[in-house]
């Protein structure tokens, strides 16, 4: 499979900062994600609307051609560019990826989508999508349905779930799904990173 990182957001709540490029340990937030994914994927793609921002990372850059249609258009661009049938898709603001959980997800069978369901919420930006989703996303966009979960509502979209009990086998703290939207989130993430680094040393 391939890994696709969605980095097309506006970072509107980050007070002028581009969150994927914010410092995170000895790299940047997206740098940490790329490095982790490269350890288990031979193909890593970054989907963005600004190609120049991510030239220094060891990943293929894919331009999101749709305008202002959010992560659904990024998923479409990534799937279209990918060389593999099934693809792990993740947002650029989720820096605490658990590789054992990802491996577990990759070993599950999937028709269209495999998505975690945690605390009653779906995690569509940490999920496996097949290329079979491409025409179904296009149908949703033609009908002006731009939210990810909206295109799942079609009868012909097969969605399977990874339940919370399965996730907690690998990540009991659920750090995997901690996403960074605000400066407060960023400060909290740095605290979690410090804690995780200390636990590794101990």
87 - beta bridge partners? 2, 129
Question: According to the annotation, is 6 in a ligand binding site?
Answer: yes
More confident position, 186 or 11: 186
- Predicted TM-score (pTM) of the model is 0.93
| 7 known ligand binder | yes
C-alpha–C-alpha distance, residues 67 and 76, integer Å: 12
pLDDT confidence tier of residue 117, bands split at 50, 70 and 90: very high
Strand extents, DSSP E, the chain: 2-6, 23-24, 27-28, 44-48, 60-63, 86-91, 113-118, 121-122, 126-130, 159-163
100 annotated to bind ligand: no
Q: What domains does the chain contain, in order, with CATH numbers?
A: 2-201 (3.90.550.10)
Q: What confidence tens digit (pLDDT) does each residue in 136-194 have?
A: 888 888 888 888 887 887 668 899 999 999 999 999 999 999 999 899 999 999 999 99
The answer to whether 189 is annotated as binding is no
CB 70 within 8 A of CB 28: no
- 175 three-state secondary structure: helix
First to last CA, the chain: 34
Residue 17 annotated as part of some ligand binding site = no
Residue 13 has pLDDT above 60, yes or no: no
User: Each residue of 38-74: pLDDT tens digit?
Assistant: 999 999 999 998 888 999 999 999 998 776 568 898 9
Q: Say if residue 171 carries a ligand binding annotation.
A: no
């Amino acid at each position: 499979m391939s890994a696709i990182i969605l980095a097309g957001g506006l970072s509107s709540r980050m007070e002028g900062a581009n969150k994927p490029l914010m410092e995170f340990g000895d790299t940047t937030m997206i740098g940490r994600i790329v490095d982790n994914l490269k350890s288990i994927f031979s193909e890593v793609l970054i989907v963005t609307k600004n190609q120049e921002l991510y030239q220094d990372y060891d990943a293929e850059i894919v331009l999101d051609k749709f305008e202002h249609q959010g992560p659904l258009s990024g998923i479409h661009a990534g799937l279209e560019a990918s060389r593999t049938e099934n693809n792990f898709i993740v947002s650029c603001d989720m820096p605490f990826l658990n590789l054992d959980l990802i491996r577990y997800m990759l070993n599950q069978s999937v028709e269209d989508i495999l998505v975690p369901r945690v605390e009653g919420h779906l995690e569509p930006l940490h999920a496996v999508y097949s290329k079979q989703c491409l025409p179904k996303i296009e149908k949703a966009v033609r009908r002006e349905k731009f939210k990810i979960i909206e295109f799942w509502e079609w009868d012909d979209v097969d969605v399977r779930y990874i339940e919370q009990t399965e996730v907690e086998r690998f990540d009991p703290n659920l750090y995997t799904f901690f996403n960074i939207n605000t400066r407060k989130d960023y400060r909290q993430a740095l605290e979690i990173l410090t804690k995780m680094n200390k636990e590794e040393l101990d």
